Amino acid sequence: MAEEATKQVSDSESTPQLTRSMSSTASHTDLRNRLYAGGSNAGKNSRANLVNRSRPNNMGSTMSNKRGEHMDSLSTVLSQEMDRYNQILVVMSSSLEELQRAIRGEVLMSDELDNMYVGFTNNTVPDNWGLVAYPSLKPLASWVENLIGRVNFMQIWLENGQPKVFELPYFYFPQGFTTGCLQNHARKYQLPIDELQFKYKVRMEEGLADVSEENMPADGVLVGGLFLDGARWDRELQCLQESHKGQLYDNMPVIHFVPHIDLSKKAIWEYDNSDGAVYPCPTYKTSTRSGALSTTGMSTNYIAPIDLPTPAGKPPSFWICQGIAMLCALND
């Protein structure tokens, strides 16, 4: 099955073969500062060159599967994610080349290219990139840095096999990843996938560096990279608490997504909490907390509710009135 999973990714026709060259990428601050420099044609071309050098290269198509044999569904997810990111990188590469040619006077400066350069000047993501990219409210410099992180994550997964912790914000389509996890569990135990749901357990580890091989769960996946908006996570009591003064967001620890069968809503809400109170915290890609239904029937922004234990005296209704949610990405 491991060989079959490897073949799934290797056969992806739309995944170009490229090599990694992330080590020479401009830093976030350097990119932001230099985007504002210069007003002549030479300065304009320098900006385009800077963004072109900062963008990551496309990902290759040879997958290593080192963590178990039930990876076929997640291999498909990885292949689809690479295709989506490679599409972004192809658009970035071609448009940047055209912009550089237009600045040199070799081709006509179209409205799209002009708007693209204005975006560089204002540190905003160009519209033609945003059309093929994932939802994001970040400025251009942060957006490029975030894209580099996403491509790096996928490339490491591609080369080294399944990671110990999956960074949910790095997925273009997170719902596809969660569905793939359920499919793997259903195939492993010969269960009907339509009867599977996730239960959630917030772990003590803060990130990948804290997770040891001995503490890896037998079932489910470990997910990280989420932010709690409007509240904080109490590491000692292992429950939601109100934010400290002046604190807008809190980094969430690693969360264990555990597939279970035949869970009623009552059983989910009573999970691992003596008070029987669990807040189904809505999770979004961006802080706008709004989206539209895509062709898949899923929201372009909303991901899923993740159940978090609440302290005594503060039932789920309290957190609903507070508007508490989890985000995959902040605005800076």
Q: In the chain, what are the domain boundaries?
A: 2-158, 184-327
Q: Could you report the per-residue pLDDT of 202-228, keeping only the tens digit for each?
A: 999 998 999 988 889 989 999 999 999
**pLDDT score at 15:** 37
**pLDDT at residue 66, as a whole number:** 47
Q: How far apart are CA 84 and CA 296, in angstroms?
A: 15
Query: What is the distance between the alpha carbons of residues 323 and 280, in angstroms, rounded to a whole number?
Result: 12
Better-scored residue on pLDDT, 301 or 15? 301
What is the mean pLDDT of the segment spanning 251-255? 95
Mean pLDDT for 324-331 is 95
pLDDT per residue as tens digits for the range 224-250: 999 999 999 999 999 999 999 889 999
27-55 pLDDT, tens per residue?
A: 444 554 555 454 455 555 665 666 666 66
- Provide the residue count of the chain: 332
Alpha-carbon distances of 62 from 4, 85, 154, 205, 317, rounded to whole Å: 12, 16, 12, 31, 48
- Residue 219 sits at φ, ψ, to 5 deg, of -125, 155
pLDDT one-digit tens code per residue, 261-297: 865 544 444 444 445 588 999 999 999 988 777 766 7
- Residue 87: the pLDDT is 95
Specify the DSSP class assigned to residue 205.
-
Question: What mean pLDDT do residues 131-138 have?
Answer: 94
- Give the single-character DSSP code of 324: -
Task: Write the CA distances from 83 to 37, 214, 280, 300, integer angstroms.
Answer: 34, 33, 32, 18
Report, as an integer, the average pLDDT of 304-312.
92
28-42, 127-141, 145-159 — which is least confidently predicted?
Answer: 28-42
Question: Residues 125-132: contacts with CB within 8 Å, 24+ apart?
Answer: 126/95, 128/91, 128/95, 129/88, 129/91, 129/92, 129/95, 132/87, 132/88, 132/91
Looking at residue 5, what is its pLDDT? Answer: 39
Tokens linked to 47: 């900006």
Residue 204 token pair:
């003590």
Read off the amino acid at residue 162.
Q
The answer to whether residues 210 and 253 touch, using CB atoms and an 8 Å cutoff, is no
Residue 89 has pLDDT above 70, yes or no: yes
Alpha-carbon distance 329 to 44, whole Å? Answer: 30
Torsion, Cα 295 297 301 306, to 10 degrees, reads -150
> Helix 72-103 and helix 174-189: axis angle, to 10°?
160
Whole-structure pTM over 0.75, yes or no?
yes
* Summary mean pLDDT of the chain: 80
- The mean pLDDT value for 52-65 works out to 59
**What DSSP assignment string belongs to 43-95?**
HHHHHHHHHHHHSPPPP-------S-S--HHHHHHHHHHHHHHHHHHHHHHHH
Two structure tokens written together for 70: 């039930």
Q: How confident is the model at residue 94 (pLDDT cuts 50, 70, 90)?
A: very high
pLDDT of residue 258: 93
Domain 184-327 indexed as CATH 3.10.490.20: yes
Spell out the residues 6+ positions from residue 11 whose beta carbon is closer than 8 angstroms to its own.
none
314 by Cβ neighbours in 10 Å (0-12 / 13-18 / 19+) ranks as: middle
User: At residue 167, does pLDDT exceed 60?
Assistant: yes
CB 138 within 8 A of CB 31: no
